[in-house]
């Protein structure tokens, strides 16, 4: 059956209204074909204009979602916007890092909860933001946003090429007046050179730059100064012969790396030796809390790692239960995360003892400073060959100076010296580490 046209539908509606009286239809006055058309008309739904549907769709996709500053630790209430990795109009995928926030302890990544397009940045780089405040807004949906980047990239390439073409003839024009500029100073300096001093010209090269301290650097400065003001720090020194541990490493480094997938370094030997010495001298692993001494039955050794933003000390948990391979793997993982600013706050809290290896920078001798609230820190230094007395003979041996800075309020000199001598004995004779 052919469907009636729009004009015919309007005429049928008017006809229907004229034949309907008080709820009853006069069917006899209408032809059968018209009755079928009326039934079709009554069952036909009204069509919503297409323009209204388009407006509704635009309003749906234009809705924005706000992302707030996440919680970054129990004691952290605010941070500084370090860097925006996406600008307004850029598209990103789900879980992409949109912004980085620096705190006094860690740099936190703010990730996108869903794919979309960044519509507004609610804080500038360098500004302070509170935990829970809105950081940026975006529109969800990567289908229409992702391809928008491609034409922009192509569009930017064209002006770059034009700029290059335009910039080519300009240096040629600048090259022509160069000889004139060289001839002019030859004529002018004759009367003026002896009378004028070169101090003003060199003064422009002696400028200064003022850069604000980062939150992490401010926190490091406060903690180190508090350590000097609070602790009665004292340092004792010793030296150890690295011959046997170096020979052990040289002999087994290939097999060790093939089996465990990490290189055998000297740091693992010092961590294992320090963990054993801490169990034998528990006061070095203890800490003062008010009027009490808190003895820890566990050993969590912090390892100082230098990063571009400052010194961080990730913690090796249960160091007394780890093997050489476990220590090397843990140090490698923590060191890589530290260099990428991906360390979390729990990974840097709770250490009971710290090892700082200044030898990687070539340090011969130094006194480390305590890492509050710990009571002692071991300082390693570079290994150099020098003559030493072995029995009644003078031999050339690879030697390293080691230092132990401790809190003299809780650790006496006797315990500090014996503790350092124990580390010396374990490293100089690695077989004792297996027996221990």
Indicate which residues carry an active-site annotation: 408, 412
Cβ neighbours around 145 below 10 Å, total: 20
**Contact by Cβ (8 Å): 391, 241:** no
Helices in 340-410 by DSSP H: which ranges? none
Residue 329 CB contacts under 8 Å (≥ 6 apart), including other chains: 260, 261, 262
Q: What angle do CA 269, 270, 275 make, to 5 degrees?
A: 105
For residue 206, give the 3-state DSSP assignment. coil
Q: Which of 311, 321, 381, 296 is nearest to 348 (CA)?
A: 311
Largest CA distance in the chain: 137
- Count Cβ atoms within 10 A of the Cβ of residue 375 and give its class: 0-12 exposed, 13-18 middle, 19 or more buried: buried
* Helices and strands (H, E) in the chain, number of each type: 14, 20
Cβ neighbours around 287 below 10 Å, total: 18
Residue 319 CB contacts under 8 Å (≥ 6 apart), including other chains: 271, 272, 274, 275, 299, 300, 301, 327
For every residue of 155-166, DSSP letters joined together read: HHHHHHHHHHHH
Residue where the block lists tokens 């391979």: 325
Residue where the block lists tokens 């939150």: 215
- Count Cβ atoms within 10 A of the Cβ of residue 329 and give its class: 0-12 exposed, 13-18 middle, 19 or more buried: middle
For residue 231, give the 3-state DSSP assignment. coil
Residue where the block lists tokens 């920078």: 361
């Amino acid at each position: 059956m052919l469907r009636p046209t729009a004009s015919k539908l309007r005429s049928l509606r008017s006809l229907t209204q004229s034949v309907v009286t008080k709820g009853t239809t006069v069917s006899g006055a209408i032809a059968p074909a018209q009755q079928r058309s009326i039934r079709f008309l009554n069952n036909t739904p009204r069509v919503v204009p297409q323009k209204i549907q388009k407006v509704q769709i635009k309003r749906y996709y234009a809705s924005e979602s706000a992302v707030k500053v996440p919680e970054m630790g129990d004691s952290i209430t605010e941070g500084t916007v370090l860097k925006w990795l996406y600008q307004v109009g850029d598209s990103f995928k789900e879980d992409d890092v949109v912004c980085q926030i620096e705190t006094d302890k860690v740099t936190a990544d703010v990730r996108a909860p869903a794919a979309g397009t960044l519509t507004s940045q609610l804080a500038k780089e360098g500004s302070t933001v509170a935990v829970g405040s809105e950081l940026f807004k975006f529109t969800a949906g990567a289908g229409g946003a992702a391809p928008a980047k491609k034409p922009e990239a192509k569009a930017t390439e064209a002006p770059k090429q034009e700029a290059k073409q335009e910039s080519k003839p300009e240096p040629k024009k600048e090259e022509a007046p160069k000889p004139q500029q060289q001839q002019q100073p030859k004529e002018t300096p004759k009367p003026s050179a002896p009378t004028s001093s070169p101090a003003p010209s060199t003064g422009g090269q002696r400028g200064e730059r003022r850069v604000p301290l980062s939150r992490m650097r401010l926190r490091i400065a406060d903690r180190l100064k508090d350590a000097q003001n609070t602790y009665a720090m004292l340092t004792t020194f010793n030296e150890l012969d690295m011959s046997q541990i170096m020979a052990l490493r040289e002999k087994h480094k290939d097999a060790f790396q093939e089996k465990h997938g990490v290189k055998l370094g000297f740091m693992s030997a010092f961590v294992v030796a320090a963990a054993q010495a801490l169990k034998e001298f528990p006061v070095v692993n203890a800490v003062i809390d008010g009027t009490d001494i808190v003895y820890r039955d566990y050993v969590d050794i912090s390892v100082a790692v230098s990063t571009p933003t400052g010194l961080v000390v990730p913690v090796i948990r249960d160091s007394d239960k780890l093997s050489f391979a476990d220590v090397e793997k843990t140090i490698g993982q923590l060191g890589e995360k530290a260099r990428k600013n991906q360390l979390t706050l729990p990974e840097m809290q709770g250490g009971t003892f710290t090892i700082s290896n200044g030898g990687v920078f070539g340090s011969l001798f130094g006194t480390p400073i305590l890492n509050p609230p710990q009571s002692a820190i071991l300082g390693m230094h570079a290994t150099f060959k020098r003559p030493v007395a072995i029995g009644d003979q003078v031999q050339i041996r690879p030697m390293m100076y080691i230092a132990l800075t401790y809190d003299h309020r809780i650790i006496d000199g006797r315990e500090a010296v014996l503790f350092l001598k124990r580390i010396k004995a374990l490293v100089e004779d690695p077989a004792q580490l297996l027996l221990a």
